[in-house]
Structure 1
Amino acid sequence: MKLLLTSSGITNKSIHNALVELMGKPVGEANALFVPTGVYPFEYGQRYAWNPIAGQAAPYMCQLGWKSIGILELSVLPSIDKSKWLPSLAEADALLVWGGDPLFLSYWLQASGLAEVLSDLPNLVYVGVSAGSITVASLFAETYSAERCCAGTPLKTEEIIFSLDNRETTATLITASGIGLTTFAVIPHFNNKNHFAGSLTNTQKWAAKLPVPVYAIDDESAIKVNDGTVEVISEGEWKLFTP
């Protein structure tokens, strides 16, 4: 399985080049499928699902100049015969998995039947964005500042104290099972001021709750996995935490 796990998508030339290398062809000769499912639990989630499709959300994942691109909506797949959607997946060079709630996304990746067929598609490049990168791990964690009420079963829920603007705040840390494509976990939006858990101090506390290696990557970084070989592609900042 080939993976390109990003914080915010194809944000720079280095990450773009890594995508082309993994696919073995230019974007203009490649077919892609876009998965918006993970963003639906958010308020205005329907709008956030449309924005990247319409090119209103940077980076322009769907506007990279693909030969063809389609939508793969996970929540409808259980009601459709696999023979109707598997051919499109088999012909795809890249699966673009958008962000959102990783617990919700992990649930639908498994409930849709998609996770179980990914290993049969060794040439497909899984391109994760934020939650799309988090959920590929065998075990992951995510922080929540408000109560969640969506599909997906946590393994553990605990309160964690984070630092925010020189004061302490309490967040909920949920640990859950992902789809098992990697033995390491990912924390996206490292040192991004718009994500309260992304500071170095808070990321250290988050990573310490997981008994696996954890890569914290910023919006200019990505993790490339090719036949089990892991490489960090970065024009920004990243950090590896070991248990």
Structure 2
Amino acid sequence: MKLLLTSGGITNPSIEAALLDLLGKPIAECHALCIPTAQWGHQMLGPQSVRSFIVGDPQRGMTTMGWASVGVLELSALPTVGRERWEPWVREADVILVDGGDATYLTHWMLESGLAELVPRLDTVWVGLSAGSMVMTPRIGADFVSWTQAPDDRTLGVVDFSIYPHVGHPMMPENTMADAERWAADLGLPAYAVDDDTAIVVVDGQVEVVSEGTWSQLA
């Protein structure tokens, strides 16, 4: 699995170029699946925001980029469908586009569905937006848990660092670099604080930051 972990989506040419490099072929030749599941776990999101992600928001790319096809994969439905049916859909996709929301809720359904076990073995590009990126980290910190039934702040731990997203976002004035430093100190893990013009590429354990904005590597 190749990871493109973003805060705000495909928001600038540098992040788009990184995506194209990971895909290894034009977007118009790639088949995508989008996962809106994390939204259902966030207290401020719901049917309208899920629809917006699926239909597409040109400002953050993702589903509006001209893919050969875009399908919807709702993880909470997968346990009732049967793995023999849904696993081929995932394996045949060139890219999986994963929206934000609550990363602990997304973690729950990735484990419950069996997708978490499959993901590390896929030759597919995972493009996360906010929680869709944070789900791959070991922990997200209590500040970012919105799902009321979350047992704790643990996520999948596919990568060995945590992510503080949306630094400096005008709608999230509390997301400052100073707060990110406090958050990282509480976690006690390697971490990155990133704004919406920054992405983290992870391939075979190698980490590269791609940015036209603001970011910091935190101890």
TM band (smaller chain): over 0.9
- Cα shift at 1:191: 1.7
Checking the alignment, whether the CA contact within 8 Å between 2:104 and 2:147 is kept in structure 1 is no
How far is 1:192 from its partner?
1.6
Paired residue for 2:83?
82
TM-score in terms of structure 2 length: 0.94
Unpaired segments of 5 or more residues in structure 2? none
Work out whether residues 166 and 194 of structure 2, in 8 Å CA contact, stay in contact via their aligned partners in 1: yes
Alignment match of 2:148 (pick from 147, 150, 175): 150
Q: Deviations over 1:130-150 (max 9, x none)?
A: 011111112222415xx9553
Residues 39 and 49, structure 1, Cα contact 8 Å, conserved in 2: yes
Give the C-alpha shift of residue 57 in structure 1.
6.4
Indicate yes or no: 2:52 matched with 1:51. Answer: yes
Q: Which amino acid aligns with 1:125?
A: V
Change (3 A) 1:148 1:118: closer
The 1:55/1:201 distance shift into structure 2, 3 A limit, reads same
Map Cα deviations across residues 99-153 of structure 1 (whole Å, 9 max, x no partner).
Answer: 00112111111111110001221x2111110011111112222415xx9553431
Distance across 1 between alignment mates of 2:68 and 2:26:
9
Which structure's CA Rg is the greater one?
A: 1
**Is the Cα contact below 8 Å between 1:107 and 1:151 reproduced in 2?**
no
Deviation of the 1:195 alpha carbon: 1.5
* CA distance, structure 1, for counterparts of residue 67 and residue 146 of structure 2: 35
Check whether the contact 1:51–1:57 (CA below 8 A) recurs between aligned residues: no
8 Å Cα contact 1:6-1:221 kept in structure 2: yes
- In terms of fraction of residues, the more strand-rich structure is 1
| Residues 1:10 and 2:25 aligned together | no
* Compared CA separation, residues 17 and 56, structure 1 to 2 (3 A): closer
Q: How big is the shift at 1:198?
A: 1.2
Aligned amino acid, residue 192 of structure 1:
H
Structure-1 residue corresponding to 2:119: 118
Describe the shift of the 1:57–1:47 C-alpha distance in structure 2 as closer, same or farther (beyond 3 A).
farther
Quickly say closer, same or farther: Cα 1:118–1:183, change in 2 above 3 A: same
What are the Cα deviations for residues 82-104 of structure 1, in whole angstroms up to 9, with x where unaligned?
11111111011111110001121
The percent identity for this pair of structures is 40
* AA of the residue aligned to 1:141: G
Partner Cα distance (1:132, 1:185) in 2? 13
Question: Could you tell me which of 147, 151, 156 is aligned with 1:179?
Answer: 156
Partner of 1:191: 168
Pairwise CA RMSD: 1.6
Equivalent pairs, count: 218
Larger helix share, 1 or 2: 2
Please list every run of 5 or more consecutive structure 1 residues that lacks an aligned counterpart in the other structure.
Answer: 155-175
